[in-house]
Amino acid sequence: MQIQHKSDGVYVDGVKVKDLETARQMFAEWKASQPPKEEVAKKGPRKYRLVSLPDKKLSAQQELVIAAISDSDFLSTEEITKIVVETGELVTRQDPKRVVGFYIVEWVKAGILERAA
């Protein structure tokens, strides 16, 4: 449903109505007649595990993330970030979760990490 204000009056779905209050009342009735939206079940955090090591030389940041992932099986981004931050060796101005998330996305695309089903 669409309410439009034009110079010659108020229109609801292209039909001229008496005034704005009538348009609002029509909208309220229309909205009440709509079926409720279904709530989407939230999934838990995605978890990842190391499948293979990257072919190219790794930076210090990348080595920290790989070390955190290789120690355990199927970790979430938050868990990996926590491990990396606890080492105290991550030197960055960025949010650590953003850094870890960036590498995870890149490595999933490259086939280095796999997502848990």
Round to whole Å and give the CA distance between 3 and 13. 6
What is the side-by-side strand order in the sheet with 47-50? 75-76, 47-50, 113-115
Phi, psi of 101 (to 5 degrees): -60, -40
Round to whole Å and give the CA distance between 92 and 47. 24
Render each residue's pLDDT in the chain as its tens digit; 117 residues: 777 878 888 888 888 888 888 888 888 888 888 887 776 666 778 899 999 888 889 888 888 889 888 878 888 989 999 998 988 888 888 899 999 999 999 999 999 899 886
Round to whole Å and give the CA distance between 49 and 58. 18
Token pair 């990396």 is found at 84
DSSP state of 21: H
Q: Say what the pTM is.
A: 0.60
